[in-house]
Structure 1
Amino acid sequence: MQKLTNDTPIAMLTVGQLKEVLGTTIVTQTLSEEQKVEKRYVYGIRGIAHLFNCSMPTANRIKASGKIDGAITQIGRKIIVDADLALELAGRKIGGRR
C-alpha cells in the first residue's frame, strides 16, 4: 500500500483510500464548526432594550418580570445577559388561561 501525501493525485487513490481521506476531512470540519459557536452577550438595560428592540422602560419591565432571569447575571450594578438564552426564554409560554 502506498503512502498518501498532499501531492498524491486523486486518480491514483483506491476507493477505500478515498473514503478514508474524505471521512477524516468531514470529521475535522464538523469539530471545527462546533468549536466556532460563541455566546453573545449584551450588557445593561440598554443592551436588553436593543436585544428586544424596545424602549428602556419596557426593557426594565422585561427584566423585572423574571421571565429572562435564567439568562441574566447581575453583579452589583453590572448586568450581563446571554442574548440567545434570553430570546429563547422570552419566547416560552408560561401559565396563561385554561
Structure 2
Amino acid sequence: MISSEILSKPLFTMTGGEILELFNAIKIPQEPTKKDFTDKHLVYGLSGLATLLNCGKTNAQKIKNSGDIDGAIIQNGKKLIFDSNKVLELLQEKESCLLAQTAK
C-alpha cells in the first residue's frame, strides 16, 4: 500500500524510489494474450510461396498468375499472403483434375 505522504507529494519533488514505489502500486492487470491456434499456416510473398513449393520465384509467380491458387491468396496492398494448407490443397485438386482428363 502506498503511504499518504507519497500520495500527497507533488510528482516533481519525489525521489526516484518514491516514483518507482508509486508506479509499482499502479500495476494494471492485463488480459492474457489470445493466440489463434487455427490450422492456418501463412507464408509471405513470392519467396515464401517458392519455398513452400520448392521451386524458384519465377515458377511461383507463374503458379500465382495461373489463377489456380486464387482462393489461398490474401493481398494487403503490395503484400502477398498465402495460406499454405489451402495452396497445397488447391494444387492437389488441380493435379488430380489434370490426371483425370489425361486418363480419358
Normalising by the residue count of structure 2, what TM-score does the alignment of the two structures yield?
0.55
Cα shift readout 1:48-86 (whole Å, capped 9, x = no counterpart): 100000001000001001111000011221001000010
Cα shift readout 1:2-59 (whole Å, capped 9, x = no counterpart): xxxxxxxxxxxxxxxxxxxxxxxxxxxxxxxxx9543100000001100000001000
- 5+ unaligned residues in a row in structure 2: which ranges? 1-35
- 5+ unaligned residues in a row in structure 1: which ranges? 1-34
Give the corresponding residue for 2:93: 92
How do 1:26-45 residues align onto structure 2 when only pairs under 5 Å count?
36-45=37-46
Q: Which has the larger radius of gyration?
A: 2
Give the corresponding residue for 1:22: none
Give the corresponding residue for 1:71: 72
Q: How many residues align?
A: 64
Give the corresponding residue for 2:24: none
- What percentage of residue pairs aligned between the two structures are identical? 44
Secondary structure of the structure 2 residue equivalent to 1:74: strand
Give the corresponding residue for 1:57: 58
